[in-house]
Structure 1
Amino acid sequence: MDSVQFPLSTGTYSINGRKYRRTAYQMKVATDDVAQKFEQFEDTPDVYDDEPSAGCLAPPGLPALKKKIAKAKEVKEAKPESNSTEPTEDERISVIGGKKWIASISVPACFIGKLHGMNRRALNALENDTQCRVKTPRRDENKPCEISSIVSLECVQRCLDRIEIFVDDAKKTARVTHFVALPCDQHEVQENFEVFKQLVLDSEHFDASCKNPQLFTKSARLHLTLSVVCLFDDVDLQRITEAFKVIEGEIKEILNNKPMIADIQGIDMMNDDPSQVSVIYAKVSGEKIQEVANHLNRRLIELGFAKNEGGDEVKLHMTLMNARYVAQAEKLKKFTFDAKKILEDLKESYFGTFQLTEICLCPLNSNSSSEKFYDKLAIMRLA
């Protein structure tokens, strides 16, 4: 039987409960011209000398490897990961590092609560449906909403489209906030209006429902309403201010450097039943006034500020009496007055003839005193 060979025993030693093999090695002690003297420790050779080094031991090329790692680190620090923003095929959206798509959209502050919904449910549903994150500004911040997604460009597109539709629908159902007017606060007009007012209040021929002083417009605020508009934030105000500059030039071309003279005479009512009247107004006539009013209102509709509710032609009028003033002051749901005798006896009332010099944008709820004209937020100069 062939003899069986066994590996030589190397011996072991223990450190902290772990067994390690004991490896023999030689150490050079001295050297002379003829021979070298070695001192040998232990009595067994290293039978595993050809095996690769263990991971816990330093490999032969460790210094070179360290230099290579250090150099790679320097290159990485010199060229950090790109976080620059780049445009996409959709001009509304940008991409960061090819991994995150972002966009912003302006939402008027008065619509943010509606966008959130009760306990943010509406906004959460939008985020879940579009796989986007929507960050809305705080109440005191004048910032756009920020949209981001790490899924795809299409997700941000869907989110943007839905918010744009939401804002458009909200604006369509919102109440008007401002009006565009030709001021009629000249001295002659104010004097004649006060005469008309006293005739109505003092005459016994007129119905008692017409005797409330709150029915009458303040003489300092007499004007011709050309259009009513919806403005919801500073962005809208800036846009319409810029639009006024453009439209001003267009109106001056219509006038062809001629003055716009208004003749205000005669009264009429807005509704059909003279016994239940909401508004009595003075009639207005004059060359180019109707053309200017129509052009202005049409341009504001085209720009999205005004609603096309009254057709193509503006109804020129200077409001004299308005039942809404009484309803608001006395907190009534509805109020009307009987104006049959007023329309018969005072139908040819004359208020004045004067040159119209400016068109102005005014808020419906003006903070200025009722003894002065409304706040003028933007002005077109006609002369």
Structure 2
Amino acid sequence: MSDQNNGFPDFFYVTGPLPYKVTPLAFGDKTCWKLTLETSDKPQEQENPQLEPYLDNDDDLIDCMDMEETHNITYTKSGKFQTSMYVPSSLFSFIIGAKGSKLKALQNSTNTSIKVPRINEKGDIIIEGNTERQVASAKTQIDIIIAQGKERMPPTHFVSIPIKSDMISSNLLKFKKSVLEQPARGITESIFQKDVKMHLTVVMLKLLDEGEVTRAINILQSCYANHISKIFEKPQKAIIQGLEIMNDDPSNVNVLYAEVKIQNPEKLQTMCDTIANYFNKAGLAKKEYDRVKLHMTVMNKSFRHESEQKMSFDASKILESHKDFYFGEFELNQLDLCIRGTTTSNTGEMKYYDTALTIQL
């Protein structure tokens, strides 16, 4: 069963006393569902159709009534409906497909004209159709394609709290030396964190061009002005002590980390959760957990050299002998928007990450 005149492509249908169609609408890391009843006494097409209100299916999802302006569809002098949308050029290939096949199929299924800038060319994607429904449908599908494309790309940046402490650096080296004296399965020097890179990760980001980097800078500055500055009125002291693993089996570990202790832990947690939520809502980060898990990575199998197999390691003895290991104290006084892959200097020496933005707390 399908309706060729409503401007929406086929997603899926369920027949019953009242046939209806459910359409998934993805925005950032949220998904909403639009329910459309297809009754025989209801006109299938109106002369000047309006977008119907969206239905929210869960308290954890965004309020779809807030999406009313996201399509921003206008009526042109030529009698067409039109909208424009910004998409990083690195995602154009996901929309266009091989020899333009995906773009053609999208235009045919939505009865729209979609103009995509050329690769490495700046500009918005322009969608034009005979009805608002057609234009909204095409934009929704492109939003879904963008979200799927971003899923396949690695993070490019992250917000972090740098750990600058001679004591912690020294104790990290002492810890490494102690563990390497009698290394268990899978433990090599390469999987230990470098002391110059010590930090607490707040949220991982995928920023695909300079426009998104600028957005991220503005978002973090706005978050600081509206929330963080009121939470942290002055720098705080924090302690790095105690070891934990990311899984339940200490003999088969991917990540070993040290815990963060602070006098007002809820303040720190609130700050980090607020930052993560800002970027989640902006579609620049994916929400993976309800709360940010603050930790200092000590050992990680992903740190292994390219020539090494990315195998797990046995941390059983480490947790027995170093469970409450004290690394030291540092001052929590800075937020960085870090650029991944920038920890090697021009001379080949290891260094801290380059930053797109630094905020003093």
TM-score with structure 1 setting the length: 0.68
1:11-46 deviation per Cα after TM superposition (whole angstroms, max 9, x unaligned)? xxxxxxxxxxxxxxxxxxxxxxxxxxxxxxxxxxxx
Residue 341 in structure 1 maps to residue 317 in structure 2: yes
* Gap runs ≥5 in structure 2: 1-49, 52-68
Shift of 1:181: 1.0
Aligned CA distance change for structure 1 residues 152 and 213 (closer, same or farther; 3 Å): same
Q: Which residues in structure 2 correspond to 1:229-308 (within 5 Å)?
A: 229-249=205-225, 250-255=227-232, 257-286=233-262, 287=264, 288-308=267-287
Cα RMSD of the aligned pairs, angstroms, is: 2.6
Shift of 1:285: 0.5
Q: Which residues in structure 2 correspond to 1:28-177 (within 5 Å)?
A: 92-99=72-79, 101-149=81-129, 151=130, 154-171=133-150, 174-177=153-156
Question: What SS class does the counterpart of residue 113 from structure 1 fall into?
Answer: helix
Instruction: Kindly indicate whether the alpha-carbon contact (under 8 Å) linking 2:89 and 2:120 is maintained by their aligned counterparts in 1.
Output: no
In structure 2, how many angstroms separate the alpha carbons of the residues matched to 1:248 and 1:366?
25
Higher relative CO (CA 8 A, sep ≥ 6), structure 1 or 2? 2
Question: What SS class does the counterpart of residue 209 from structure 1 fall into?
Answer: coil
| Structure with max Cα Rg | 1
Aligned CA distance change for structure 1 residues 331 and 345 (closer, same or farther; 3 Å): closer
Shift of 1:315: 1.6
Residue 321 in structure 1 maps to residue 299 in structure 2: yes
Query: What letter corresponds to residue 250 of structure 2 in structure 1?
Result: P
In structure 2, how many angstroms separate the alpha carbons of the residues matched to 1:198 and 1:167?
46
Query: What letter corresponds to residue 158 of structure 2 in structure 1?
Result: F
| 1:330 alignment counterpart | 307
Aligned CA distance change for structure 1 residues 175 and 371 (closer, same or farther; 3 Å): closer
Instruction: Kindly indicate whether the alpha-carbon contact (under 8 Å) linking 1:180 and 1:225 is maintained by their aligned counterparts in 2.
Output: yes
Instruction: Kindly indicate whether the alpha-carbon contact (under 8 Å) linking 2:220 and 2:275 is maintained by their aligned counterparts in 1.
Output: no
Instruction: Kindly indicate whether the alpha-carbon contact (under 8 Å) linking 2:207 and 2:284 is maintained by their aligned counterparts in 1.
Output: yes
In structure 2, how many angstroms separate the alpha carbons of the residues matched to 1:298 and 1:140?
31
Instruction: Kindly indicate whether the alpha-carbon contact (under 8 Å) linking 1:101 and 1:153 is maintained by their aligned counterparts in 2.
Output: yes
In structure 1, how many angstroms separate the alpha carbons of the residues matched to 2:81 and 2:282?
30
How many residues in Structure 1 have an aligned counterpart in Structure 2? 287
| 2:342 alignment counterpart | 366
TM-score with structure 2 setting the length: 0.71
Residue 199 in structure 1 maps to residue 178 in structure 2: yes
In structure 2, how many angstroms separate the alpha carbons of the residues matched to 1:95 and 1:134?
16
Residue 189 in structure 1 maps to residue 168 in structure 2: yes
In structure 2, how many angstroms separate the alpha carbons of the residues matched to 1:153 and 1:281?
52
* Gap runs ≥5 in structure 1: 1-87
In structure 1, how many angstroms separate the alpha carbons of the residues matched to 2:235 and 2:119?
46
Aligned CA distance change for structure 1 residues 146 and 359 (closer, same or farther; 3 Å): same
**How many percent of aligned residue pairs carry the same amino acid?**
32
Instruction: Kindly indicate whether the alpha-carbon contact (under 8 Å) linking 1:185 and 1:373 is maintained by their aligned counterparts in 2.
Output: no
Query: What letter corresponds to residue 189 of structure 1 in structure 2?
Result: I
